[in-house]
A = this chain, B = another copy of it.
């Protein structure tokens, strides 16, 4: 699917790129290019013409000068764990992998800031700062293989977003390379900064379409000392949601409040041949609370338990040691894999105002029935962010191909009616871009297209992504 507008990669260009990074860091062989041809988005595959692995902002700048001059598309790639096809080189060209730029440059304990390279694995940042008693709370499900650069591209979230916020809330400074190779910096180790427009926040979540992020300053906070994990099975989702609201009204902000519907638990039981407690409940809520005083946590856990029981929870399990906590979280983390192993699937990353979550799940059930397509939902109840998996089970290829876009369209329209949006943390990328006009008006889309042109007039950075054609 090469666009006629883009340039071809010639042997001369390859040679020039090799001069910048060394020829061993320019990958051309089809076998070696395979890992760069897909991410974690369904079964999509697009081969780049080449992959390149720079080691510095200066090298990225030189690469971009050549690509800009020759009109070569460049798709930046972090860990390749994306779920919206953001790292797919859909028009071929070059995949620019940040895998070698994976260092922590500095952990500044006095200013509570870390400076890192974009290819750093998120979990490695967690471990390094936690060893210093510090905390980088953003914890996407793929934290052991995703990168900070990729997290910035998608504005990644995760369970702890509920209390601690998402990637944008921690990014305070960036070093970036424009499509034409010019390098610029935004922000700094500054908690307050109003010197010009906030380019940092414009770039976070821009999915590699505006510039290439080459260095990052993130804020750190003190690491909370203690945790409690709680699991409560409810006989209806409405009651679970009302209970959750009551928890907030009682001044408790859990660090996570996850939601798993019955079908998702069943899927995990089948997949892992293991029985979960209360797996016949309509919905499970999994809470985490954290803090520096165990007595305060125990008090909060008791209050959460009371509220859940008052909302007809069948029981409340509290895990107060790391092993039991890890077990409960493992169960939650297994859900995704289990649900996706049932059959071909399409995952939607719907988000609504938290209190509308029961209505969203009701709508999903209704749409599922109307079209005779299986859906299984789970996700972050505290943020109203529900991952709805549409499963190709017991229906024909024709039916699937015919009904799937209708199901998605109807789902997204209901989400928007509820005051929500079509992606909470996975991004728009390649697979959702044609649905974006459901969420955004022509005015917003027009502004976004014009902003894209400001940063990348030739449209060579991650072409085909986010903005509908």
Stretch at the interface among A16-24, A279-287, A437-445: A437-445
Q: Assess the A188–B353 pair: CB atoms within 8 A.
A: yes
Cβ–Cβ < 8 Å partners of A178 in chain B: 443
Known A-B contacts A184-B447, A451-B454; the reply to A424 vs B193 at CB < 8 A is: yes
**When chains A and B are docked, how far (Å) is the Cα of A332 from the Cα of B214?**
42
For A184, A194, A382, the residue with the greatest tally of chain B CB atoms inside 10 Å of its CB is A194
Q: Assess the A192–B204 pair: CB atoms within 8 A.
A: no
**When chains A and B are docked, how far (Å) is the Cα of A162 from the Cα of B219?**
12
Q: Assess the A191–B451 pair: CB atoms within 8 A.
A: no
Q: Assess the A195–B422 pair: CB atoms within 8 A.
A: yes
- Let me know if A363 is at the binding interface, CB within 8 A: no
How many whole Å from A264's CB to the nearest CB in chain B?
20
Interface majority SS on A: helix, strand, loop or mixed? Answer: loop
Among B110, B197, B425, B450, which residue has its beta carbon within 8 angstroms of that of A202?
A: B197
How many whole Å from A94's CB to the nearest CB in chain B?
23
**When chains A and B are docked, how far (Å) is the Cα of A252 from the Cα of B221?**
10
Cβ–Cβ < 8 Å partners of A337 in chain B: none
Interface size class of A (residues with CB under 8 A): 35 or more
Q: How many identical subunits does the complex contain?
A: 2
Known A-B contacts A443-B183, A451-B451; the reply to A198 vs B421 at CB < 8 A is: no
Kindly identify, within residues 227 to 270 of chain A, every residue whose CB is under 8 Å from any CB belonging to chain B: 245, 248-249, 251-253
Cβ–Cβ < 8 Å partners of A362 in chain B: none
Nearest opposing residue in chain B for A84, CB measure = B194
- Let me know if A216 is at the binding interface, CB within 8 A: no
Cβ–Cβ < 8 Å partners of A205 in chain B: 194, 197-198
How many whole Å from A18's CB to the nearest CB in chain B?
27
A interface residues with partner B (beta carbon < 8 Å): 108-113, 133, 154-155, 157, 161-162, 165-166, 168-169, 178, 182-186, 188-199, 201-202, 204-206, 210, 221-223, 225, 245, 248-249, 251-253, 292-293, 296, 351-355, 380, 382-385, 419-428, 436, 439-441, 443-445, 447-448, 450-451, 454-455, 466-467
Q: A110-B354, A196-B439, A201-B204 are in contact. List 8 more A-B contacts (CB 8 A).
A: A154-B194, A188-B419, A189-B419, A190-B384, A190-B421, A192-B351, A199-B444, A201-B201
